């Protein structure tokens, strides 16, 4: 008997079409969180949680998974799975899978807000031909808060826009591949010079509420805050107050709360553009996710350490 795994496909045929032949020693069942639970619920050791399902739904049967050792999720963010992990079970995230899509979204949000693309899209419905003098990404001083996989991908894409500078910030100061990365404790000193601030950090106890009223007040007047991290990284009330005062602008793929209720004042605040947490939802996800799952199965069968462990229950 091999290592029992659950994969998010309808059948072995579909799994092998996506991943290639499964390694010898891997016995797979298939679960998409919207159908019958496989009979092997007590035997599964490695579980790939289906993408775009609530963590509570994906982990609804965790108390029956007596042999579970690993949960592989297909998102970079993992905060919603943390409280659901059974003791001793390792949580693996999808670091690297969403870099391209999320970095594209971050730069797209900045371009949309700076070049008034949302305004022009609304004008189309009225047949209104009206141009405005916009703000360019070129010559802007940019700050990236969270210099992991996604932060580095944002920096790589900004290089083609002739920005004046890119300053990296992360949980701890360090030199990394020739880039000096500042620590979070330096944000208050760095924000007054930043014209576009990208948030791409994970949600952790250290980053929850990181962009407080104090840090938002330290931002350069007229600066753009682009959030592709998590809504809870930013104090929503402080952000709303700054938007209503006209001090800063914002382009948000994530909010707190989420989904944002239809009557929430953030929808109608000036100088804000909101998308529904869709940064990672692009077709670049599929080949990268398949590559990660296939590599994890190979490692599992070979007895090698698995990639991307972020927590243990």
pLDDT digits (tens, 9 = 90+) for 68-86: 999 999 999 999 999 999 9
Q: pTM for this structure?
A: 0.91
Strands 165-170 and 141-145: parallel
List 146's β-bridge partners, or say none: none
What's the rounded Cα separation, in Å, for the pair 218 and 188? 6
Q: Which percentage of the chain shows pLDDT scores above 70?
A: 100
Strands, sheet with 90-92, edge to edge from the N-terminal-most edge strand:
26-30, 3-7, 46-48, 70-72, 90-92, 309-312
Q: Give residue 35's pLDDT.
A: 73
Domain with residue 35: its CATH number is: 3.40.50.720
- 130 with 169, same domain: the answer is yes
Q: Which residue reads 């739904």 in tokens?
A: 57
Give the Cβ contact number of residue 303 at 10 Å. Answer: 8
Specify whether 34 is located in the same domain as 77: yes
Does 131 share its domain with 83? Answer: no
Our count of domains for the chain comes to 2
Give the structural domain span for 112: 99-274
Q: In whole angstroms, what is the distance from residue 104 CA to residue 135 CA?
A: 19
195 with 80, same domain: the answer is no
Specify whether 268 is catalytic: no
Mean pLDDT of the 299-308 span: 97
The strand pair at 174-176 and 141-145 is best described as: unpaired
Residues 41 and 57 reside in one and the same domain: yes
Of the pLDDT bands very low, low, confident and very high (cuts 50, 70, 90), residue 267 is very high
Token pair for 299: 């490692």
- Give the integer Cα–Cα distance in Å for 55 and 51: 9
List the catalytic residue out of 98, 149, 182, 277: 277
Q: Do 163 and 93 belong together in one domain?
A: no
């Amino acid at each position: 008997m091999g290592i029992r795994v659950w994969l998010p496909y309808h059948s072995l045929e579909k799994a092998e079409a996506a991943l290639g032949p499964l390694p010898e020693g891997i016995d797979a069942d298939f679960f998409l969180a919207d159908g019958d639970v496989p009979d092997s619920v007590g035997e599964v050791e490695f579980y790939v949680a289906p993408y775009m399902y609530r963590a509570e739904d994906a982990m609804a049967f965790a108390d029956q998974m007596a042999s579970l050792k690993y949960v592989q999720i297909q998102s970079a963010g993992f905060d919603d799975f943390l409280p659901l992990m059974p003791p001793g079970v390792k949580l693996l995230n999808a670091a690297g899978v969403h870099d391209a899509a999320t970095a594209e979204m971050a730069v797209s949000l900045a371009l949309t807000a700076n070049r008034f693309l949302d305004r022009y899209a609304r004008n189309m419905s009225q047949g209104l031909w009206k141009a405005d003098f916009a703000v360019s990404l070129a010559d802007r001083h940019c700050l990236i808060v969270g210099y992991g996989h996604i932060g580095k991908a944002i920096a790589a894409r900004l290089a083609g826009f002739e920005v004046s500078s890119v300053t990296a910030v992360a949980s701890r100061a360090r030199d990394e591949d020739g880039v000096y990365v500042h620590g979070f404790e330096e944000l208050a000193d760095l924000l007054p010079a930043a014209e576009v601030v990208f948030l791409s950090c994970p949600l952790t106890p250290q980053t929850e509420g990181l962009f407080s009223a104090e840090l938002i007040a330290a931002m350069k007047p007229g600066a753009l805050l682009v959030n592709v991290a998590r809504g809870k990284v930013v104090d929503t009330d402080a952000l709303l107050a700054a938007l209503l005062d006209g001090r800063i602008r914002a382009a948000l793929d994530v909010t707190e709360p989420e989904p944002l209720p239809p009557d929430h004042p953030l929808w109608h605040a000036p100088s804000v553009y909101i998308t529904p947490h869709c940064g990672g939802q692009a077709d670049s996800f599929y080949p990268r996710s398949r590559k990660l799952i296939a590599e994890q199965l190979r490692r599992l069968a070979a007895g090698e350490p698995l990639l991307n462990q972020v927590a243990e229950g």
